[in-house]
Amino acid sequence: MAFLLEGCYLSGSLRNPTPAHAPLYASLLYQANALGMGWENVDTESGAAFALHSSDATADATAIDCVLEGWSDAVDRPITENLAQAASGLMSVHGRASGGAQPLGVDYVSTLTAMLSLQGVMAAAIGRQRGASMRSTATSMTAAALLSVAQYLAGATAPDMPERLLPGGANVRERPPFVSADGVAFELETLDAGPWRAFWSHVGVDAASAGKGWNGFLLRYAKAIAPVPAALCDALATLPFEAIAQIASQTGVAICKVRTLQERAQDPDASTMWRNGPWRFQCDGDAAQATPIKPCAPNTSLPLAGLTVVESCRRIQGPLAGRLLSLLGAEVIRIEPPGGDPLRGMPPMAEDVSARFDALNRDKKILEIDIKSAAGKAEVMALIKHAEVFLHNWAPGKAAEMGLDYDDMKQVNPDLVYAYAGGWGETAEHDLPGTDFMAQAYSGVAAKIAAASGLPGGALFTVLDVLGGAVAAQGVTAALLARALGRARSIRVDSSLLGAASLLCAEDLGALLNPSGDKGVSMATEESHSAPTSLNGVYATAQGLLAIDCLDERAASRLARAVAEAEPAANESGGLNRERLQRILNRRKAQEWAALFETTGAPAAAIVEDLTEISHDPRLASALNKDAYIRVNSPWRFQ
């Protein structure tokens, strides 16, 4: 089967989206295309909606509608990629290690929103096939943005020793990526203190400095900062990259150059991954002999209610995938090692569990199983026999080694969706550890973020772990829809951090790999003259920072008019340029400017620097839950 959902199609105002929605729709169409879906343009009053149809004779013919909202309160006001990053705190998290709150420089929220909206509409279609009465779903750009920072929000608002990490609080020069004497920026990775100590000893750094650096380095996944002593950076800056590579090889530390997208496009697997999308599906068995997917109650409110997912995952990518499936209604049984996942006790705490861990694993049923033992393997297989999905992110080769691979499990349950959320995909021609920051460096994402942020490398915000988790969950949902439509029996779904990176840079890679543009990921906007203006950026005000994001001349005109009305005395002759705008913005607080601009439709948002203040924004209230810590609600609503 070349395309999993061939014959399904989307309809809606898919041509000529507004400039603010253009990246979102480009990603949506790219994802749909990669799954085999077509699209049909149907002019509607609002371009922020689409519907999913199936041509299968056995399928419920009712289309599932999806509404794409900007803000979580569904009120129509200006929204763009950067305004969503500003209001959600994403700019703040990125700014912890990049010198101050600033945009990521990639269409991250738009890509994630596209992924969640397509996943939501596919999940609703599964619900319909199972007997539910739901006909529509809705999600928003700010809900997607908040989901991306959920674990950081949990850490900042935990009741026990909350983290107060503000943008600009860490030195941008004393953190990875490192830079060699010959100017090569590179990421370094090890999950073990032994190789770390040996590497720095060979480099000539004293043990005390290396030990101090380990603490900051180890926690960078959780805190989005990685403060290391200057001695570490200085020592590497005296050595050529080849010498550093030799030391890394000798000591068991992995390093990866910060590569460009042009370099990534030259990799043998780049074109295939770009054309197929961030997943790989393998369908087996005779679909005619498949057990129909389990029906659900007609009045159920969540589309995957009654389905069981068995999860064996660590850290962020896999657990977030399980969390998203749980938010769609699935019962998620999480397998942890005897004694529980060590990250359960990682501060800051909320009652008796790590707030950050809870944000990724809430509402899952926990079973402690030694999966390496014969008894544990039998227990896993007993769970699999009655589950719809198995999801894991074990190290490459470990599943086969334990006798828990796809081929093993489909013997027990021939109707199983088997999902693997890995680092690189099966065709990787290297043995680099499949972690977020290595994948950013290898894929070209780090270079793209670096160019926008003035850094030597990527973000310490877990860009690919979060997006990779959403990719894995979406792949599972697509496979379940194929099962619900009777197209397949057992399905293996492979996804990776590298696939998530390709999705995030799909348009750039498309331009490099397919200059003729036959995949249709480039979309014209409403106005041929649409283009970001020179006024866009982050501005200081009398108190706080303000993000301005005018994506076309009309938005820039609304901004200029609003500024002139607010400060008539400052309405000097000549156009509004950055210097003049900065002088005027210094006269009021960011929140005052944001409120004033909102009334005129000028695209601006106060930047949330302190994550604890997010709950004060009424526009985001419906997306948040003030529990033991501030939790992020499901990004979907179903009706």
> Of 202, 235, 257, at which residue does a domain stop?
257
Classify 404 as helix, strand or coil: coil
- 392: pLDDT strictly greater than 50: yes
DSSP state of 41: E
Provide the domain limits for residue 209.
178-257
Domain check: are 454 and 591 in the same one?
no
Q: How many residues does the chain have?
A: 639
User: What distance in Å separates the CA atoms of residue 405 and residue 418, rounded to the nearest whole number?
Assistant: 9
At 617, list the tokens.
Answer: 């924004």
Q: Is residue 171 situated within a structural domain?
A: no
Q: Which of 36-45, 230-239, 546-555, 564-573 has the highest mean pLDDT?
A: 230-239
Domain check: are 483 and 576 in the same one?
no
Q: Is residue 381 situated within a structural domain?
A: yes
Q: Is residue 53 situated within a structural domain?
A: yes
Domain check: are 154 and 204 in the same one?
no
Domain check: are 549 and 494 in the same one?
no
Domain check: are 335 and 423 in the same one?
yes
User: What distance in Å separates the CA atoms of residue 17 and residue 637, rounded to the nearest whole number?
Assistant: 23
DSSP state of 6: B
Q: Is residue 404 situated within a structural domain?
A: yes
User: What distance in Å separates the CA atoms of residue 496 and residue 469, rounded to the nearest whole number?
Assistant: 9
Amino acid 516: pLDDT: 74
User: What distance in Å separates the CA atoms of residue 145 and residue 23, rounded to the nearest whole number?
Assistant: 15
> Which CATH number does the domain housing residue 45 bear?
3.40.50.10540
Domain check: are 392 and 318 in the same one?
yes
Q: Once rounded to an integer, what is the mean pLDDT over residues 273-301?
A: 93
Domain check: are 193 and 128 in the same one?
no
pLDDT bucket at 519, cuts 50 / 70 / 90: low
Q: Once rounded to an integer, what is the mean pLDDT over residues 14-30?
A: 87
pLDDT bucket at 54, cuts 50 / 70 / 90: confident
Domain check: are 327 and 435 in the same one?
yes
- Per-residue pLDDT tens over the stretch 599-635: 999 999 999 999 999 999 999 999 999 989 999 999 9
Q: Is residue 203 situated within a structural domain?
A: yes
Q: Is residue 150 situated within a structural domain?
A: yes
Q: Once rounded to an integer, what is the mean pLDDT over residues 573-594?
A: 90
Mean pLDDT (the chain, rounded)? 93
CB 499 within 8 A of CB 279: yes
Amino acid 46: pLDDT: 63
CB 169 within 8 A of CB 224: no
Contacts (Cβ under 8 Å, ≥6 apart) of 431:
none
- Per-residue pLDDT tens over the stretch 320-333: 999 999 999 999 99
Q: Once rounded to an integer, what is the mean pLDDT over residues 247-266?
A: 98
Domain check: are 246 and 358 in the same one?
no
Beta strands in 130-238 (DSSP E): 136-140, 178-179, 185-189
Task: Characterize 594-614 residue by residue with b for buried, 16 or more Cβ atoms within 10 angstroms of its Cβ, and e for exposed.
Answer: bebbbeeebbbbbbbbebeeb
User: What distance in Å separates the CA atoms of residue 4 and residue 412, rounded to the nearest whole number?
Assistant: 23
User: What distance in Å separates the CA atoms of residue 573 and residue 400, rounded to the nearest whole number?
Assistant: 72
> Of 257, 283, 303, at which residue does a domain stop?
257
User: What distance in Å separates the CA atoms of residue 320 and residue 318, rounded to the nearest whole number?
Assistant: 5
Task: Characterize 371-384 residue by residue with b for buried, 16 or more Cβ atoms within 10 angstroms of its Cβ, and e for exposed.
Answer: beeeebbebbbebb
Handedness of CA 465, 234, 253, 242 (dihedral sign): positive
572 vs 239, more confident: 239
Contacts (Cβ under 8 Å, ≥6 apart) of 503:
27, 30, 31, 111, 115, 277, 278, 467, 471
- Per-residue pLDDT tens over the stretch 402-415: 999 999 999 999 99
Classify 638 as helix, strand or coil: strand
Amino acid 370: pLDDT: 97
pLDDT bucket at 573, cuts 50 / 70 / 90: low
Number of domains in the chain: 3
Amino acid 514: pLDDT: 85
CB 163 within 8 A of CB 156: yes
Q: Is residue 334 situated within a structural domain?
A: yes
Domain check: are 225 and 275 in the same one?
no
Q: Which of 31-45, 64-78, 145-159, 573-587 has the highest mean pLDDT?
A: 145-159
Domain check: are 490 and 369 in the same one?
yes
- Per-residue pLDDT tens over the stretch 474-487: 999 999 999 999 99
pLDDT bucket at 531, cuts 50 / 70 / 90: low
> Of 483, 514, 545, at which residue does a domain stop?
514
Percentage of the chain with pLDDT > 90?
85
- Per-residue pLDDT tens over the stretch 120-133: 999 999 999 999 99
- 574: pLDDT strictly greater than 90: no
At 83, list the tokens.
Answer: 């305004």
**Which residue bears the tokens 């943005």?**
145
**35-44, 362-371, 565-574: which range is least confident on average?**
565-574
Q: Is residue 639 situated within a structural domain?
A: no
Give the residue among 319, 327, 287 at the shortest CA–CA distance from 221: 319
User: What distance in Å separates the CA atoms of residue 213 and residue 207, rounded to the nearest whole number?
Assistant: 10
- 571: pLDDT strictly greater than 70: no
pLDDT bucket at 528, cuts 50 / 70 / 90: very low
Domain check: are 308 and 395 in the same one?
yes
- Per-residue pLDDT tens over the stretch 327-361: 999 999 999 999 999 999 999 999 999 999 999 99
- 529: pLDDT strictly greater than 50: no
DSSP state of 160: B
432: left (phi over 0), alpha (psi -120 to 50) or beta: beta
CA 574 to chain CA centroid, nearest Å = 42
Amino acid 45: pLDDT: 66
